[in-house]
Structure 1
Amino acid sequence: MAELDDPEPGPGEVLVRVHTAAVNYPDVLIAANRYQVSAPLPFIPGSEFAGVVTALGPGVPGPAVGSPVAGAVLSGAFAEQVVAPVAALRSIPDGLDMVHAAAFHVTYTTAYHALVTVGGATAGEWVAVLGAAGGVGSAVVDVATRLGLRVIAAASSEQRLGVARELGAEAGIDYAREDLKARIRELTGGPGAHLVIDPVGGDHAEVALRALRRAGRFVTVGFADGGIPRIPLNLVLLKNLVVRGFEARTIRWEDPDAATAAELALAGMVRAGMRPLVSEVHPLSEVAAALTAVAERRTSGKIVLEMTGESR
């Protein structure tokens, strides 16, 4: 921990007094310089935050000073103040406090786009979710259930499967003990899942791909396992499968209409009672322990850091 000079927003930027910040697996990768892009050194870790606008950079018309906002940046969120591009900020959906606002945007927009924008999910379909108790996985289970999908949760222990069932999963598979492919086919009555959402990667990815029915869809959103799978393309060819990826940082300029549709849909779900799963809340001084817990995949849902007592 260190005391630094107060940052100042430049053109197109906003200064935010951070109340809370969520810990995501990419924060671990960025700190280890194993993410898809590198943060310029030196940097403060942390990407997802919620707080209040305290200053606007030159020429920035809003949001107004004093407005509550949530945002995402490559780095800088694990601090009492953060400078962010105005385009990286979002209003906080009605019904979310600062703790849940910090945990909401990245994982829930990823979940919605993976399911709908990229995955083409429709009500009644079977979706298998890998890492179903983690930050992204739990959000996928939550959103998928609310969209009327039949969710098969896959996780590494019965305790973590219990978390997914509480979020609405219809069935669970402990892939530390059970045959993932055989169980998906058994649960779906033989043909397999319509859709797989995979934020984990590693050895289970190909197995889940093999458990898709003909013309099924596989969406990759991350590699929390640490291993990037190599998929035999003959599997894709023989069953007429679709394999797609989703990268959350680029959706707003690649498909702004889809980004707006996701925000509206998710805001409606929040009004209906949806809240992100926050399993732990820590002071900023415990950031190293929080990052370690996420790196070792010992958490369910999200860990949130509080900068002050103002978020409660």
Structure 2
Amino acid sequence: MKAFQIAEYGSTPALVDIDLPPLGPTEVRVAIEACGLNFADTLMIRGQYQERPVPPVTLGMEMAGTVTAIGAEVAGLAPGDRVAAFNGQDGLAEEANLHADRCVPLPDGMSALHAAAFQVAYGTSHMALDHCAKLQPGERLVVTGAAGGVGLTAVEIGALMGAEVIAIARGANKLEVARAAGANHVIDAESEDIRGQLKALGGADVVYETIGGAVFNACFRATNPEGRILAIGFASGDVPQIPANHLLVKNLSVIGLYWGGYLKFRPAVLTGSLSHLMRWYEDGKLSPHVSHVLPLDRADEALNLIRQRKSTGKIVVTMR
């Protein structure tokens, strides 16, 4: 079968032919239909992601498809079931052997395209805003990178939770995408005085921060007393250094979130969040935004769209 792999960290990914190993007793084999890409995939290639599986590594952290075979000890899944999975790797391939407990059955009305774009982005934002920050109706939520894969879902979920949402993104097109997702106010990330604009709108009660660097610093300085700052990522490459004395004076909390880490130490929190999100999807309350769909043989082009910040929402690679 075809798989998009790196032979070692820092090498150029390539489409190669591989054979799957025998199916383990607790695994299911999935014919992959679609794989959602994330900024983290670009970090994985460079060996800069939190997880470092032993190379060669098939890229693609989240996927959707159909179960074709099950291991001897698997219960609750059967060939023909449609599932999504977050596996951290193996998504950019025609098939994968996945642990059964990583697979989430799909609602009848959810396409593989939406399913592949759903778990990481919506899961991260819901866990961050609900479980970590405990966002309340009427609070002012600032989202940076607001037209990106996770940022756009934070705008959508924040609005659904009753927050007043301020979206920060780069350029008129991305700001319009964020506004369409539910943002009440928008600020161009290239503005010279982000802090001043945030203060003029009343400051931030919760900050969903994906960029780092100067954007983080502007939001930090515009956060209200008892505000919560969610450290989601550092797309700028500049990891901010937080002055602890400012945390003390303003009674601020900074909360880090690595969504995939919950699979190891509190999986029930993560699966409960996903179940809640699936219900919202079935009720028509969530609408995944996929800006680009490309085939597997153009996976590197798809990753370049992320590197060059030319996408909004999610990019999905299809296998067939």
TM-score over 0.5 for the alignment?
Answer: yes
How many angstroms does 1:257 deviate by? 4.5
CA contact (8 A) 2:204 2:222 kept: yes
The match for 1:100 is: 114
Alignment partner of 1:205 is 2:205: no
Q: How many residues align?
A: 305
Alignment partner of 1:13 is 2:24: no
User: How far, CA to CA, are the matches of 2:301 and 2:265 in structure 1?
Assistant: 36
| Structure 2 counterpart of 1:150, from 164, 171, 174 | 164
Alignment partner of 1:185 is 2:231: no
How much is the aligned-residue C-alpha RMSD, in angstroms? 1.4
Q: Secondary structure at the match of 1:82?
A: strand
How many angstroms does 1:180 deviate by? 1.3
How many angstroms does 1:241 deviate by? 0.1
How many angstroms does 1:225 deviate by? 1.7
Q: Deviations over 1:73-131 (max 9, x none)?
A: 12111000011111211112343211011000111010001101001101111000000
Gaps of 5+ in 2: 1-14
User: How far, CA to CA, are the matches of 2:79 and 2:212 in structure 1?
Assistant: 42
User: How far, CA to CA, are the matches of 1:130 and 1:96 in structure 2?
Assistant: 28
User: How far, CA to CA, are the matches of 1:257 and 1:6 in structure 2?
Assistant: 30
Q: Percent of aligned pairs with the same residue?
A: 36
Alignment partner of 1:271 is 2:282: yes
CA contact (8 A) 1:199 1:221 kept: yes
Structure with greater contact order relative to length (CA < 8 Å, sep ≥ 6): 1
The match for 2:266 is: 255
Alignment partner of 1:76 is 2:118: no
Q: Secondary structure at the match of 2:294?
A: strand
User: How far, CA to CA, are the matches of 1:3 and 1:258 in structure 2?
Assistant: 37
Q: Deviations over 1:247-288 (max 9, x none)?
A: 111224533453344223212321232121100110111000
How many angstroms does 1:208 deviate by? 0.8
Q: Secondary structure at the match of 1:236?
A: helix
So what's the TM-score if we normalise by structure 1? 0.94
User: How far, CA to CA, are the matches of 1:179 and 1:201 in structure 2?
Assistant: 16
User: How far, CA to CA, are the matches of 2:272 and 2:97 in structure 1?
Assistant: 27
**Letter in structure 1 aligned against 2:128:** A
| Distance verdict in 2 for CA 1:152–1:35, change over 3 Å | same
Gaps of 5+ in 1: none
User: How far, CA to CA, are the matches of 2:69 and 2:213 in structure 1?
Assistant: 43
**Letter in structure 2 aligned against 1:207:** A
| Structure 2 counterpart of 1:237, from 241, 244, 248 | 248
CA contact (8 A) 2:20 2:96 kept: no
Alignment partner of 1:282 is 2:282: no
User: How far, CA to CA, are the matches of 2:233 and 2:103 in structure 1?
Assistant: 23
So what's the TM-score if we normalise by structure 2? 0.91
